[in-house]
Structure 1
Amino acid sequence: MDPPDHTRLRALVSRAFTPRMLERLRPRIEAITAELIAELPDEADLVSGFAYPLPVMVISEMLGVPPEDHERFRGWSETLARSLDPMLTAELISETGRARREFRDYFRSLVEHRRERPGDDLVSALAQLGELSESELLATCVLLLVAGHETTVNLIGNGVLNLARHGLLAQAARRPRQVVEEVLRYDPPVQLTSRNALEDTELGGVPVPKGTPVLALIGAANRDPAVFPDPGRFDVGRDPGRHLAFGLGIHFCLGATLARMEGEIALSALAAAAPKLELADPAPPYKANMVLRGLATLPVRLGR
């Protein structure tokens, strides 16, 4: 979406994502993190036991999604995330259509409930606005929930994997901000994104006519040696510079501040609680997704 509709919708939703508003969430994120770590057995899958539930619980509470409904949208969310891939099978296209319909039906019911009984949550706030059509409101709710956890799951999982592989987990407790920025650069949760040319242009000597879709490879840009010295080295002490993990320009990720906060809290708390953490599988499997790079499982031994 482009201006003016993009400008209007982003302005409405961004009220809930200002740094000041998100700082109010910090104590709750820290509490959820502590609870999840305390519940982990010594041998655990960090994706299902930690990296997945943390951002799901946070974005669900922000939106006003009841805890008992979290598992209902897990499958829908994973299907919609896979639909971002540039190569889609007929089967996945069919599954995506069904997931989108079921997701929208769920939020339609939740919006109706919140209009009658509004709470202190984002769905209630959006439902009270007269500036959104039903289609815009439902699409925005689905987008916020899917984008609000799928990528952060990958950030946490990729972070633990790379820190453990390089023996740098302790650094997450000492300088969480630098650690998160290097994870975002070195192993970004979003590997590529698409853009449409708004006018005739040229890239690398190749003509790009107006309206042409272009795939921008974020993962490659973040390893550009002209920007990052020794880009293939995982270095939590480096100046992260201008990595593109959250995009650039007017479409810069709305949830960047929230994702960074969740990543910093999650990785630093885990490092403090389980400093002897070891990978139980040195080469854990990844989800079948080209766009969103994340682990399917991450077996570890906490060594507590």
Structure 2
Amino acid sequence: MDPILAATHADPYPYYAQLRAEGGLVFHSQLNVWVASSAQAVAAVLENPVCHVRPSNEPVPHAIANGMSGKVFGQLMRMNEGERQRCPRSAIAPGLKGIDAQEVEALVGARLITADAAGLYNAMFRGPACVMAALLGYSPAQGRAISELTRDFVACLSPLSTHTQLTAAHTAAEQLSGYFVELLEDPDNHSPLLSGIRQRFTGGTPEMLIANLIGLFSQTFEATAGLIGNAILTLIKNPSVLREPAQIDDLLAEVQRFDPPVQNTRRFVVAPCEINGISLKTGDVILVLLASANRDPQLNNTPDAFMLDRPNRRSFTFGAGHHQCPGQNLALSIASATLRQILKKKPVLERLSWDYRPSLNGRVPVFSDTRQV
């Protein structure tokens, strides 16, 4: 195993513990990256202003730089620093924090969710994007179309994607951009979320706004699906952990710490710095093991125990510093409402089998109905 393969391993957590024991920040010669595995090192990297989200010499991955998905990627707040990050974030983040959980519950409840593997797939991957579309003022039919386009677009974010997938991602980016042009020109749109975003978005270009509205969907897609899926896995492995539906919020709060959908992220050193007593130079790459830091005893007591009522729960799953994910509350609300609807169908979870989607950083299960009981 290595720190990247660990993301989709059946149980990477003993390996993460081994990495922490070897030092919070160590160099992995085979991967040619520094690996931050302890809570202290992860926090230091995420807070360091010279540890950027993209390398200076490649702001957009070469594989997509000449296509439409590359144009969108280059303007995403999560992939930029300075004003190109602050401008869209200051417009979007306040609106995400203010979304009513009961509204999310109603939107999820209006969707048809079935208890088989196909139904779980739709609930995990299509449902969250449909909720986001509805919050922005799209119709249900438009939301379904946008969720499919988002599925295609997110391929541009993965180094594992094939040429065919990247071509589809470029097409999806074009079509998503068209949807948002129409949305922003619609005089009958009465979405409070979109209205607030537009009022706060000053100083940026229309293309930047559209790119970051697309980014809302790409951020929602796999991370929320992984949160829902890993909660289902927790219930498969330990059915008694959830004693009553009222504990679903506590379950998800612990799942995102204990078995997070985003296992790692990367930072690129753009100027010499020192972290944890180690000197780093310009051009160094740091693999930041968020999932390992969540299990660090220095961050959480008895970290390998799954505790619904964990006191002072702390987690790096949604990041830290100025790139901390602004959609944490919304993701948890969508996941909570979705899991509640799934459990109302009384699925026979023991009949599900699963594999993890191929990924270098995500831990997202996909279920099938093939397991025998």
Kindly indicate whether residue 366 of structure 2 is the aligned counterpart of residue 289 of structure 1.
no
TM-score, normalised to structure 2, is 0.67
Of 310, 319, 326, which residue of structure 2 is paired with 1:247? 319
Instruction: Tell me how far apart the structure 1 counterparts of residues 202 and 320 of structure 2 sit (CA, whole Å).
Output: 30
Instruction: Tell me how far apart the structure 2 counterparts of residues 60 and 292 of structure 1 sit (CA, whole Å).
Output: 23
* 1:8 maps to amino acid: C
* 2:99 maps to amino acid: L
Q: CA offset at residue 105 of structure 1? A: 3.0
- In structure 2, the residue matched to 1:210 is 282
| Gap change, CA 1:276 and 1:237, over 3 Å in 2 | farther
Question: Higher relative contact order at CA 8 Å, sep ≥6: structure 1 or structure 2?
Answer: 2
TM-score, normalised to structure 1, is 0.80
Aligned ranges 1:167-206 → 2 under 5 Å: 167-168=239-240, 170-171=242-243, 173-203=245-275
- In structure 2, the residue matched to 1:70 is 143
Q: CA offset at residue 133 of structure 1? A: 0.5
Instruction: Tell me how far apart the structure 1 counterparts of residues 154 and 249 of structure 2 sit (CA, whole Å).
Output: 27
- In structure 2, the residue matched to 1:155 is 227
For the 8 Å contact 1:111–1:124, the answer to whether it is kept is no
Judge which range, 123-132 or 67-76, deviates more.
123-132
Instruction: Tell me how far apart the structure 2 counterparts of residues 78 and 53 of structure 1 sit (CA, whole Å).
Output: 8
For the 8 Å contact 1:33–1:266, the answer to whether it is kept is yes
Instruction: Tell me how far apart the structure 2 counterparts of residues 121 and 30 of structure 1 sit (CA, whole Å).
Output: 17
For the 8 Å contact 2:126–2:147, the answer to whether it is kept is no
For the 8 Å contact 1:184–1:245, the answer to whether it is kept is yes
- RMSD value over aligned CA atoms? 3.1
Judge which range, 119-128 or 290-299, deviates more.
119-128
- In structure 1, the residue matched to 2:37 is none
| Gap change, CA 1:220 and 1:92, over 3 Å in 2 | farther
* 2:338 maps to amino acid: A
Of 298, 322, 329, which residue of structure 2 is paired with 1:257? 329
User: What secondary structure is seen at the aligned counterpart in 2 of 1:143?
Assistant: helix
User: What secondary structure is seen at the aligned counterpart in 2 of 1:185?
Assistant: helix
Q: CA offset at residue 46 of structure 1? A: 4.3
Alpha-carbon displacement from aligned partner over 1:122-175 (angstroms, at most 9, x marks no partner): 445545655431221111110012213432122112111212221136346242
Instruction: Tell me how far apart the structure 2 counterparts of residues 147 and 111 of structure 1 sit (CA, whole Å).
Output: 20
Q: CA offset at residue 84 of structure 1? A: 2.9
Q: Which runs of 5+ in 2 are unaligned?
A: 1-79
Instruction: Tell me how far apart the structure 2 counterparts of residues 292 and 299 of structure 1 sit (CA, whole Å).
Output: 23
For the 8 Å contact 2:290–2:317, the answer to whether it is kept is yes
- In structure 2, the residue matched to 1:34 is 109
Of 128, 131, 134, which residue of structure 2 is paired with 1:55? 128
Of 222, 242, 249, which residue of structure 1 is paired with 2:294? 222
Q: Which runs of 5+ in 1 are unaligned?
A: none
- In structure 2, the residue matched to 1:98 is 171
User: What secondary structure is seen at the aligned counterpart in 2 of 1:83?
Assistant: helix
Alpha-carbon displacement from aligned partner over 1:67-120 (angstroms, at most 9, x marks no partner): 2123333343223333333555555444433332332233223323x2x44422
Q: CA offset at residue 244 of structure 1? A: 0.7
Instruction: Tell me how far apart the structure 1 counterparts of residues 171 and 108 of structure 2 sit (CA, whole Å).
Output: 33
User: What secondary structure is seen at the aligned counterpart in 1 of 2:267?
Assistant: strand
| Gap change, CA 1:120 and 1:105, over 3 Å in 2 | closer
Instruction: Tell me how far apart the structure 2 counterparts of residues 101 and 53 of structure 1 sit (CA, whole Å).
Output: 20
- In structure 1, the residue matched to 2:63 is none
Of 93, 107, 115, which residue of structure 2 is paired with 1:14? 93
Q: CA offset at residue 280 of structure 1? A: 1.4
For the 8 Å contact 2:356–2:363, the answer to whether it is kept is yes
Query: Kindly, what percent of the aligned residue pairs are identical?
Result: 23
How many residues get paired?
291
User: What secondary structure is seen at the aligned counterpart in 2 of 1:159?
Assistant: helix
- In structure 1, the residue matched to 2:82 is 3
User: What secondary structure is seen at the aligned counterpart in 2 of 1:285?
Assistant: strand
